[in-house]
Chains A and B, each alone.
Chain A
Amino acid sequence: MRLGLVQGEAPKEFSVFSESSVDQQGVATSGIDYIFSAKEIRKTFPGVVALDKVSINIRPGQVHALMGENGAGKSTMMKIIAGIYIPDKGTLFFKGEPLVLKSPRDALNKGIAMIHQELNLFAHMTVAENIWIGREPRNVLGLVDHGELRDRTAKLFADLAIDIDPEAELGSLSIANRQMVEIAKAVSFNSDLLIMDEPTSAITDKEVEHLFRIIGSLKSQGKAIIYITHKMDEIFQIADEISIFRDGTHIVTKPASKFDHNSLIAAMVGRELNQVFPKEEVPIGGIALQVKDLARESAFSNINFDVRFGEILGVAGLMGSGRTEIMDSLFGVYPADSGEIHFNGKKLNIKSPKDAIKAGMAFLTEDRKQSGLFLSLSVGENMQIASLPLHSSLGFVRQKEVDELCSDMSKKLKVKTPGLYEIIENLSGGNQQKVLLARWLLNTPKLLILDEPTRGVDVGAKAEIHKLITQLAKQGAAIIMISSELPEVLGMSDRVMVVYDGKVGGILSRQEATQEKIMTLASGVEL
């Protein structure tokens, strides 16, 4: 049923929505059950109305999920609740009192904490320092008490069953572990309202389960949680209530049990949607990439695989399994120590990404903030940076030509932005992701390596991206796609390579591949 169209049922759902919005107001007037309410919030940015007349009510001891397309205004609303943005209009109520927030610190002091969509940690500080920054325990001399700092962190991690060394430098952790640190940090404030903005976009199923256990225990302590995600399967597992935003307005709030998969999507996108792009059989050509005995110290060893032109090779594995590291080396970000890479019949000596790009490869990296985005530059500049060599003569960029390509690509990927000139930092997370994907699609690669390509992207755009990837394969490109979402891997791939502990755990054909087999291989058990 997951793959089905929303059809026929839709009109019935529409009427349910209109009922519930009445219902919504009825409840709002009683107002006692709520720990937090926002009324008629409006927030504008230059050229953008991010939120208009948005009201939500949050109950204690419940998970309130927030859903909507990329750029719908979810993060903006959360940043208002966490004291980061000041609304243009509207009022907030917390524990029955009107709430005016002067700063994020103010919100924390009052009992509202937030896990941000983008990680906000300091790479050169230890895990413990990161968690307690600004509120470090101090000794009699007023200096930071490092022993106490470590003990507190250890206790926090023990409570949450997190297995990370408090003394490790944050920069040495995987993204998934950094995300766990961010979660622990938010929990450590012991807030009554905890906002989680796409906390699972960077972690695998194992950590997701872990997070859900943490959420469960927070709920039982009567804490309220606002939870944003684009992952449909999570929603019904975790949410008690669901609110839907669209284009900066609040569409509907209902108990999760009153939604089903299709009605949820229909409410989000406001139209019928073929949300899963079906796998297309594409003729598979000759060998594009052949990797022989590739190894890099303390990351991976003995890596052997190949990809053919027109083929999509899915790559699965747990966090820290080495799947990202292998791709980093293929692309020359951190060159391999030994082994051979043959591409298009030639042996390559890849020392830097420049070499890889010259050979016709492209690589969408996993960590968009660290190795993807130029936050201070415009959407257009971000999109075209990798294909400038294709569009310049004598060092001068043929600006009109690239701008047109960028415009086309933005439209195809439905990037929500006032224009190519907008500074990319001002785009919503999902839209930033689309711009990065566009960067590499514009490069017309012969081998496209995608590390979590649809991370933080909404359901509609996801289908669109899958379609573009398939189109590229059809045109003969070879594609390697890492994804933590097994349905995505299973749905898109011709073959699936599972990585475990820096080694290839196994390679499954499309026919063989199942969720169970992948999970088995990913946990190091041989089939």
Chain B
Amino acid sequence: MSNSVPFEKVDKVETLKKKRWALPQEFSIFLVLIGIGLVFEALGWIIRSESFLYNPDGLLIMVLQVSEIGLIAVGVTMVIIAGGIDLSSGSIVALAAMVAASLAQVSGYDRAIYPGLTDLPFLIPVLAGVAVGGLAGLVNGSLVVKSKVPPFIVTLGMMVSARGLARYYTEGQPVSMLTDSYTSIGGGANPVIIFIAAVVLFHIVMRYTRFGKCLYAIGGNTQAARVSGINVGRNLIAVYTIAGLLAGLAGVVVSARAQTGQSGMGMSYELDAIAAAVIGGTSVSSGGIGRVTGTLIGALILGVISSGFTFLGIDSYIQEIIKGIIIVAAVVADQIRKKRTR
């Protein structure tokens, strides 16, 4: 056996350690966020001789705006991970805002929508707004599952109809004179707190519950998910409903903060939400990939960019052009990172 050199036993069945020490996936995108912030900081000093980052008021406004888009984006991220898409969330925001606001009006206002239903405790309009959103999401999910029409089409239809419904609800009139208890939901840092709570909650749902794992599986390979005993239809309906609920909640927050419900609210929020998810690493081209925390950072990046441009006084049309470029660049960068294993 002395000449058995090529036969030394190389049994490389490693101990399957739980996780090799590695940076979380979100780390690279977090660096991008910091980088963008620093660029604006530098430009701020150069152009305006002012700090961009050390500007509490400006930052609060930014974070408040991020919260509204972000709330929707959490749901949209989950839908995309499950292999779907949701284009209806912006319109659901408007519909929920109208319905909630109409139940949150003060008494003694002669143009109240429901003169008999004024001065209600704030919980009632909140629940109504969230429920309307959930219902719209339920319809989305049921149609996707039962009719087998692609989610792009189903939610496109919902986007158009829900917006129409929001307008029809008051024939386009804004709903104002809301109770203080209702508007306080949008006061101070409340929207931010609600957003962070949603991120934490759904991060836990996606990472640690069976439901979350099933969504990843369904997005990864629907047929394999079914064969593995997952009730695909029920899970899909649930995720679209959750997305609707979150859009409804966003509608409540938006109308509370603006102290009015308007049918034009949430316009094109769905696109910003999808952009936030995509920048945060959620894959639209193949399901089963993405994280809620990535979306949080994606939403912050979008927020920093738009408030940075506003801070520098750059024209809003140019802002849009650049925002578009950044979204595509984020996806391209992601693809390149993945391809490097070739």
A residues adjacent to B (C-beta < 8 A):
11, 14-15, 17-18, 45-47, 84-86, 246-247, 251-252, 266-267, 270-271, 331, 333, 352-354, 356-358, 363, 365, 370-377, 381, 385-386, 388-389, 392, 395-397, 399, 403, 406-407, 410-411, 414-421, 426, 439
Contacts and interface: CB of A to CB of B under 8 A. Distances in A.
A353 B226 contact: yes
Contacts of B4: 11, 14
Contact of A377 (B17, B209, B216): B216
Contacts of B17: 419
Contacts of B28: none
A421 B20 contact: yes
A247 B217 contact: no
Interface string B1-27: 101111111101111111110000000
Contact of B12 (A45, A247, A439): A247
B5 A18 contact: yes
Contact of B216 (A46, A374, A411, A414): A374
B210 A395 contact: yes
B13 A399 contact: no
B106 interface: no
A353 B229 contact: yes
A385 B288 CA distance: 13
Contacts, number: 139
Given A45-B341, A85-B342, A374 B13 contact: no
- Could you tell me the dominant secondary structure of chain A's interface residues? mixed
Interface in B200-224: 208-211, 213-214, 216-217, 219-221, 223-224
Nearest to B233: A352
A418 B6 CA distance: 24
Nearest to A393: B210
A246 B20 contact: no
Interface in B324-342: 341-342
Contacts of B51: none
B289 interface: yes
Q: Which of A18, A84, A397 has the most CB of B within 10 A?
A: A397
B3 A377 contact: no
A411 B16 contact: yes
A356 B226 CA distance: 11
B286 interface: yes
B7 A418 contact: no
A85 B209 CA distance: 37
Interface residues of B, number: 45
A411 B288 CA distance: 27
Nearest to A414: B13
Contact of A396 (B8, B10, B208, B224): B208
B173 interface: no
Nearest to A395: B209
B55 interface: no
Nearest to A440: B228
Contact of B211 (A46, A47, A352, A395): A395
A385 B13 contact: no
Closest 4 CB pairs of A and B: A374-B220, A357-B229, A376-B288, A386-B228
Nearest to A384: B213
B227 A372 contact: yes
B231 interface: yes
Given A372-B227, A385-B228, A270 B221 contact: no
Contacts of B226: 333, 352-353
Contacts of B14: 418-419
Nearest to A399: B208
A15 B223 CA distance: 51
Contact of B227 (A14, A353, A397): A353
B271 interface: no
Given A251-B6, A354-B230, A354-B231, A376 B342 contact: no
